[in-house]
């Protein structure tokens, strides 16, 4: 065979194998190889949220409304629910009920579903003004079909495109979701078996769910007075019973711009600016709390307005990274494991993008790299990409071209080792 024809044949086979590994394989083909966790990625095969039609802006990994579910990518954009393969090509199936405006990150559920929050206008009549309803939409992860939805009306009104929807997850068989604007917020719990709304909590935005025993759980959230902005007004951390919505605890701490992220099955990271913060003396806090509200460990973050961003790797480790520092703790006890930079070892701190199943992804001046989550050691110094979302098949990166949110796009990078 001539050299040119041989090269074309090899390229064709490589392309077929790559697409087969990432959700674009012909029907009936063998399942793609899984890398748990991946330590290497191919060149981008597609992108999401690019061009002028998208309503997703910026490079905030935590706010990226996408989830990797097997070899598919689930996302919301412009009010619609969609799923794509590794090229960004849509896979038919998901569709919100008429009139619903879907928003926020889709969340896989333990029963093989994908949960998405949506909002809609409740028509007014006579002297009664229009209202606002929210729905928890449950899709089948395999077929994409809508299994069921659980609607409820909120005590405040707003146009759906202005409402942020956040599904915090599932614990004790209950999914907890929050609908919010800059000045209003309401959390609600939905039983996945009966498919009905169990409770609502006005004025609370739930960010994390913690397991508490074999049948219980805590919805950990932020309480801010109606009309106040979470970013600037005084807020408190509250723990609600995930099944009943009753308040379990409310520590006296007052924070501004508080953030809560899962740090393990029974731990969460609570961070924010303290009321002692001034322009001359910034004072941020970061602490690990359990499902009963007890502080397990407090981390000294120095003099800063912005505490490190923390990511649980969904295994045994939580990694926190800022502009100049990365540290890791055990996801069960919050015991410290390692920290960078390490001047004695001549090692700098990477800019962490995410962590998953024992691997930490990030970049230094030398390019992308992968660290071991338990030891902090270099695991791979040429992974090809530093994704902000990752699973055994794919990585999804931040915008790589154009102005943030205007013509860029999140790059899809298939895992190859």
| Distance, CA of 310 to CA of 328 (rounded, Å) | 9
Closest among 298, 332, 333 to 315, alpha carbons compared: 332
Q: So what's the pLDDT on residue 105?
A: 96
| Distance, CA of 209 to CA of 357 (rounded, Å) | 19
Strand partners, 359: 356, 372
Closest among 142, 231, 155, 233 to 187, alpha carbons compared: 155
Reduce the DSSP state of residue 172 to 3 states and report it: coil
Q: So what's the pLDDT on residue 279?
A: 63
Beta strand segments in 158-246, E: 164-171, 174-180, 185-191, 196-202, 204-211, 217-224, 235-241
Q: Are 329 and 288 in contact (CB under 8 A)?
A: yes
Q: So what's the pLDDT on residue 102?
A: 98
Strand-pair category, 351-356 with 336-340: unpaired
Q: So what's the pLDDT on residue 250?
A: 86
Closest among 90, 78, 73 to 413, alpha carbons compared: 73
DSSP state of 375: T
Q: So what's the pLDDT on residue 401?
A: 54
Give the tokens for residue 278.
């001034």
pLDDT tens series, the chain, 417 aa: 443 333 333 333 334 434 434 444 444 566 679 999 999 999 999 999 887 778 776 656 777 899 999 999 999 999 999 999 999 999 999 999 999 999 999 999 999 999 999 999 999 989 889 999 999 999 999 999 999 999 999 999 999 999 999 999 999 999 999 999 999 999 999 999 999 999 999 999 999 999 998 779 999 999 999 899 998 899 999 999 999 999 999 877 888 899 999 999 999 999 988 876 666 666 788 999 999 999 999 998 877 778 889 999 999 999 999 888 999 999 999 999 999 999 999 999 999 999 999 999 999 999 999 999 999 999 999 999 999 999 999 999 876 554 444 556 899 999 999
Determine if the pTM surpasses 0.85: yes
Q: How far is CA 147 from CA 68, 91, 174, 326, 376, in A?
A: 19, 17, 16, 41, 42
């Amino acid at each position: 065979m001539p050299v040119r024809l041989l090269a074309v044949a090899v390229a064709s086979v490589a392309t077929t194998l790559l697409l087969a590994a990432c959700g674009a394989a012909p029907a009936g083909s063998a399942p793609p190889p899984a890398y748990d966790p991946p330590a290497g990625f191919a060149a981008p095969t597609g992108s999401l949220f690019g061009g002028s039609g998208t309503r997703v802006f910026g490079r905030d990994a935590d706010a990226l409304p996408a989830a990797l579910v097997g070899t598919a990518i689930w996302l919301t954009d412009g009010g619609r629910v969609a799923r794509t393969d590794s090229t960004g090509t849509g896979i038919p199936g998901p569709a919100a009920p008429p009139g619903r405006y879907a928003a926020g990150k889709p969340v896989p559920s333990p029963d093989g579903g994908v949960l998405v929050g949506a909002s809609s206008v409740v028509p007014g009549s006579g002297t009664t003004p229009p209202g606002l309803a929210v729905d928890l939409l449950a899709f089948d992860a395999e077929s994409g079909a809508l299994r069921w939805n659980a609607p409820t009306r909120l005590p405040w009104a707003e146009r759906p495109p202005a409402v942020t929807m956040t599904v915090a997850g599932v614990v004790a068989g209950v999914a907890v979701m929050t609908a919010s604007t800059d000045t209003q917020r309401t959390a609600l719990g939905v039983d996945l078996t009966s498919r009905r709304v169990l409770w609502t909590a006005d004025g609370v935005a739930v960010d994390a769910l913690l397991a508490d025993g074999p049948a219980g759980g805590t919805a950990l959230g932020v309480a801010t007075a109606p009309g106040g902005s979470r970013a600037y007004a005084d807020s408190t951390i509250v723990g609600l019973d995930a099944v009943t919505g009753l308040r379990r605890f409310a520590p006296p701490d007052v924070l501004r711009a508080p953030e809560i992220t899962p740090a393990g099955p029974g731990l969460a990271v609570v961070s924010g600016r303290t009321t002692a913060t001034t322009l001359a003396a910034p004072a941020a806090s970061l602490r690990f709390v359990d499902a009963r509200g007890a502080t397990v460990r407090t981390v000294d973050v120095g003099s800063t307005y912005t505490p490190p961003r923390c990511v649980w790797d969904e295994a045994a480790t939580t990694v926190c990274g800022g502009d100049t520092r990365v540290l890791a703790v055990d996801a069960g006890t919050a015991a410290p494991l390692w920290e960078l930079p390490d001047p004695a070892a001549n090692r700098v701190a990477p800019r962490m993008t995410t962590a998953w199943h024992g691997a930490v992804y990030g970049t230094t001046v030398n390019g992308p790299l992968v660290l071991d989550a338990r030891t902090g050691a270099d695991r791979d110094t040429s992974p090809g990409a530093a994704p902000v979302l990752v699973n055994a098949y794919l990585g999804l990166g931040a915008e790589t071209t154009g102005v943030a949110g205007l013509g860029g796009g999140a790059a899809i990078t298939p895992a190859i080792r």
